Structure 1
Amino acid sequence: MANAILTPSIIAKEALMQLENNLVMANNVHKEYKKEFVKVGQTVSIRTPVKFYTADGANRVNQDVEEGNTSITVDQRKHVSWKFSTQDLTLSIEEYSARYIKPAMITLANTVDQSLAGLYRYVWNAVGTPGTTPANYDAVAAVGQRMDEMAVPSDGDRKLVLNPAAGFKIAGTATALYMQQVAQDAYRNGSIGEIAGLETFKSNNVRTHTVGTKAGTPLVNGAGQGVAYAAVKASYQQTLVTDGWTAGSAVLKAGDVFTIAGVYAVNPVPGEGSTGKTVLPYLQQFVVQGDVSADGGGAASLTISPPIITSGPYQTVTAAPADNAAITVLGSASTAYPQNLAFHRNAFALVTVPLEMPDGASFKARESANGLSVRVVKDYDINADDDIIRLDILFGRKAIYPDLACRLVG
């Protein structure tokens, strides 16, 4: 059989296929903004949904249109590179893929998935018991219930990504259910499929979050710390002034979740009337947006999401916290917990951008499909007498609608 000389296009096509085949998170998030970008560091704005309420009676009630926006920045440039001999170019694509392309693209795919899984830190809804591995249908159903309560669309685009510990335990419980195919898949490969309305996957890239020291007895410092939607519609966050922490210590980490006494969650979908939404039977959860240290007097200003909005169609809570309302942080101090992540496809966005083709390289190709793009370039090092190949990707990611996601803490 004659040698098959690998062309750059063949390598790029195979690399793209291997990248897509090894993605978990990235294959299940929104990938529709790539055409908006051109170069590294660029950003694009994305409109957030407008909300209205139902007015009563025959007389028309005019409502303000307040359209917010968020943005995604393309700032993640990643590559894998290796040396090879000219003889390697005569391998079949199957041999070359197994030897070089597949391991390279597994590395890049893990990088993308880890980056997306790290977006958990922007998600404030969390269920589960810290320190207890989710192990059964009830654990997954708790996620589905929270997503229902938060009006996350149940249109077949709800996903759940579990770490191996939770994944295999939950897969095992499927064998006790009267679902033959699910049970077979669980035994054969640990796959769960759809459970509690969530298409479920296992991934080693589920991130672990270490809770801050949360030292002290934290309290809200000052009543009435609410904001209007118009003031925060771009960032969807606010500052919460607190005290009672241990003086001079690092108290909270970005991604820490907490509740405030007396501040309850509400149904996010507006109903009748411009004030008051249906009150839910649990406290609203908030997430800290950046690491925080208390000052010498034990005070700390927290940047949090969601913002505390007490009325109107964008209302997030029943009421602003009272002065000295107690703050309770989820989990034990300085302890790490897996952050299994459930989300609707539109909660997170991934943008991969076709990279520019270098003029000086003759062996080069670029392939794009399904919202993904890979570039391959080969060059010759005359000093070392080596052929060098590199595979590059350029991407950005963002939690565009974190209210459509929920953590399952283990």
Structure 2
Amino acid sequence: MDNMQLYVAQAVATCFDNDNDAFIPELWAEAGLAILEENMVAASMVHRDFQNRISNFGDIVNTRRPGEFKINRKTDSDTLTQQDAVATNVQVPLDQWFYTSFTIKDGEASYSFQDLVSQYLLPGMQSIARGIDRAVVGRMGHAFLTNKVGKLEGLTAATSHDDVLDARETLNINKAYPNNRNLILHPRAETSLLKNEMFIKADERGDGGEALENARLGRILGFDTFMGQNTPGLNLNLDTVAGTVTNAAAAGTTGSQTVSISGHEVVAGEYCVVEGDHQPTYATASTASTNTTAVTLSDALKYATEAGAVITVYTACAVDGGYAAGYSKAITLDGYTTGKAPQVGQLISFNTGASRRTYTVIEATDSGSSCTVVLDRPLEVALSNDDAAFPGPAGSLNPAFHRDSFALVTRPLALPNERMGAMSAVAAYNDVAMRVTMQYSINAGGTIVNLDILGGTAVLDTNLG
């Protein structure tokens, strides 16, 4: 890779792909960053902020959101009025520490560097890339919901052209710059666009058939378009109950709606999606006693709904244990229907009112009666035992955004004391820094390798996504 920068290291050696002496952290750091760059989708499309300044977990760094100049006019007799180039400071906590750690056993120590890359470094860096990408695209998925277009589970071949145009119109109205616009599609959403001949016919695209041959959408309607396997979205094994809305309602309707939901008391905070509207709304109030007879939704209806329309309620589960604000590791949940635990790619919200916060699940492990979830960012508000957790609705959230709407900030980590027997190096490429640390373990019977990246994410401008 060109312009790879090795910032700090403790050992210098020459090594070739087929050498047996392959435990050189500088090589692992450089090769790891190359793999990382190849496997990140969303994280490669946002603003990146990097400085060669050693930082620690929890440090606050500052990035900038560019401002705008005002329009002025003058005549021959006027004196020019100077404007300051103002940029808004945005504080970003370095609260995302992604790592992978593994042991290369003594019997594998004779492998060449290239073999070790394939067996260990490649899957290790892919897991870090997956974590970073999910954190970025997961946060974007809910950060820009105020500008949402289309319907959940409603993106089809027939609607895809209009949906992309609506996203374009929204960004145009919000004065997003026409260049550096991206669209990241969930695999099902990409399939819907590929089924629309308007996006793949060579005579309409003028690309010589490349879109059809490679199933690659490329640039469409002003967006550089990519399929992202980590884009939030799911539609199977969700914990739901269904009922009906009694009366038809026009677009823009607010307030309480009469419903019939048997055997479930809707609680404030639960996601409720009405057929025909298909927006990620949630209940702010309800009338319920065993059955639910009325629900008030968080947003006005975006589209008209019919009498008897199905309303799907995504039932709440519960937090198991207490977690402080800033907690960044796995959170345990229980109280859901067996086999229907919150999943990777699903929205999940906690609390109600002003303290409500929404996240995307980026990793999940279901053990039957309980599960653990890792969120797209650390908790912003503390959670107590048995607090309600509100899993989000089915459907995919496909971010359409300008590069300056979102930031990924990384900083290099400090090297450990070499007198403790650890070999370590930090390398940086394309505004991302990674540390590799190696140390032999007698107990493990091999060399422990740790790969880690310290960073943080921030929404810079909600008008640009």
TM-score by length of 1: 0.66
Task: State the partner residue of 1:143.
Answer: 167
Task: State the partner residue of 2:122.
Answer: 102
Partner Cα distance (1:375, 1:118) in 2: 25
Task: State the partner residue of 2:27.
Answer: 10
What is the CA-CA distance between 1:139 and the residue it aligns to?
Answer: 2.7
2:47 counterpart SS class: coil
Task: State the partner residue of 1:130.
Answer: 152
Partner Cα distance (1:245, 1:344) in 2: 37
**Contact 1:377–1:390 (CA under 8 A) maintained in structure 2:** yes
Task: State the partner residue of 1:250.
Answer: 268
Task: State the partner residue of 1:269.
Answer: none
Change (3 A) 1:252 1:2: closer
Change (3 A) 1:380 1:182: farther
1:355 equivalent in alignment to 2:379 = no
Task: State the partner residue of 1:194.
Answer: 219
**Contact 1:211–1:256 (CA under 8 A) maintained in structure 2:** no
1:394 counterpart SS class: strand
Partner Cα distance (1:391, 1:380) in 2: 15
**Contact 1:137–1:195 (CA under 8 A) maintained in structure 2:** no
**Contact 1:361–1:377 (CA under 8 A) maintained in structure 2:** no
2:155 counterpart SS class: coil
- Amino acid of the structure 2 residue aligned with 1:116: V
**Contact 2:106–2:445 (CA under 8 A) maintained in structure 1:** no
Change (3 A) 1:26 1:56: closer
1:93 equivalent in alignment to 2:118 = no
- Amino acid of the structure 2 residue aligned with 1:338: S
1:76 equivalent in alignment to 2:96 = yes
**Contact 2:98–2:453 (CA under 8 A) maintained in structure 1:** yes
Partner Cα distance (1:14, 1:88) in 2: 19
What is the CA-CA distance between 1:339 and the residue it aligns to?
Answer: 0.3
**Contact 2:200–2:217 (CA under 8 A) maintained in structure 1:** no
Task: State the partner residue of 1:183.
Answer: 209
Change (3 A) 1:180 1:261: closer
Change (3 A) 1:289 1:383: closer
1:336 equivalent in alignment to 2:353 = no
What is the CA-CA distance between 1:35 and the residue it aligns to?
Answer: 4.9
- Amino acid of the structure 2 residue aligned with 1:347: S
- Amino acid of the structure 2 residue aligned with 1:335: P
1:127 counterpart SS class: coil
Instruction: Give the alignment's Cα RMSD to 1 decimal.
Output: 4.2
**Contact 2:18–2:112 (CA under 8 A) maintained in structure 1:** no
Partner Cα distance (1:358, 1:36) in 2: 16
What is the CA-CA distance between 1:87 and the residue it aligns to?
Answer: 4.9
**Contact 1:41–1:73 (CA under 8 A) maintained in structure 2:** yes
Taking the TM superposition and a 5 Å limit, the aligned residue runs for 1:375-390 are: 375-390=435-450
2:457 counterpart SS class: strand
Partner Cα distance (2:61, 2:19) in 1: 47
1:346 equivalent in alignment to 2:346 = no
2:175 counterpart SS class: coil
- Amino acid of the structure 1 residue aligned with 2:189: A
CA displacement, residues 39-78 of structure 1 (integer Å, 9 cap, x when unaligned)? 2111134454545766899999x9x999754321110112
Change (3 A) 1:4 1:403: same
Partner Cα distance (1:68, 1:351) in 2: 16
1:29 equivalent in alignment to 2:41 = no
Equivalent position to 1:165, from 188, 196, 205? 188
Tell me the percent identity.
24
Change (3 A) 1:48 1:15: closer
Partner Cα distance (2:26, 2:54) in 1: 23
Change (3 A) 1:355 1:45: closer
Change (3 A) 1:289 1:81: closer
Change (3 A) 1:56 1:363: closer
Task: State the partner residue of 1:38.
Answer: 55
Equivalent position to 2:178, from 127, 135, 154? 154
Deviates more, 1:38-47 or 1:28-37: 28-37
What is the CA-CA distance between 1:385 and the residue it aligns to?
Answer: 2.1
1:129 counterpart SS class: coil
**Contact 1:212–1:256 (CA under 8 A) maintained in structure 2:** no
Task: State the partner residue of 2:344.
Answer: none
1:373 equivalent in alignment to 2:373 = no
CA displacement, residues 198-226 of structure 1 (integer Å, 9 cap, x when unaligned)? 0011011111389999x9x9xxxxxxxxx
What is the CA-CA distance between 1:24 and the residue it aligns to?
Answer: 0.2
2:399 counterpart SS class: strand
- Amino acid of the structure 2 residue aligned with 1:348: F
What is the CA-CA distance between 1:32 and the residue it aligns to?
Answer: 2.3
- Amino acid of the structure 2 residue aligned with 1:72: V
1:391 equivalent in alignment to 2:407 = no
CA displacement, residues 355-388 of structure 1 (integer Å, 9 cap, x when unaligned)? 1111124422221111111111111221232221
